[in-house]
Amino acid sequence: MGVLLFLGQICTAQYTIYVAPKGNDRSIGTMSRPLRTIQAALQKANSVSGEEKVEIVLRAGLYEQDSTLVVRRSNLSFHPYKNEQVVISGGRKISPKHLKKVTKPSVLDKLQPQARKQIREIDFKALRIKIADLHASGFGRSSQTAWT
């Protein structure tokens, strides 16, 4: 009488989501059709079965975050694609083209004449940057909002 012995390997499925700065959050998250934001990748990861490991692969570039990244699964990993350089930043770059000359007379009147042509302003609202929590600080200044 013979004995048949079967040694099997338990395989855990892995789900891969690709993200690229020039992707689209309405895409499916594949290498050829990546998502654009890490937030969208996390949402997609949350929709994957809890048994599957999820891998989020970030293509080269800058990923600006305007809120905390919340990870809701334990079997999730992030890493750059191959050796590409990835930067995840909680800040935002503001291009010099967004610096505009001050034109409002009530503001210009508060400035010394020699400074009026040198002072620039930024329209944070137009850039969709929330400034409610910004405050002047450091060098002994009180922590009060510097603008109204």
Tens digits of residue pLDDT in 58-88: 999 999 887 888 888 889 999 999 999 999 9
- Contact predicate 138/132, CB 8 Å: no
Of 134 and 93, more confident: 93
- Contact predicate 138/144, CB 8 Å: no
Is the pTM above the cut of 0.75? Answer: no
pLDDT in tens, 10-58: 555 689 999 999 999 999 999 999 999 999 999 999 999 888 899 999 9
Distance CA 97, CA 124 (A): 13
Q: Please state, as a whole number, how many other Cβ atoms lie within 10 Å of the Cβ of residue 109.
A: 8
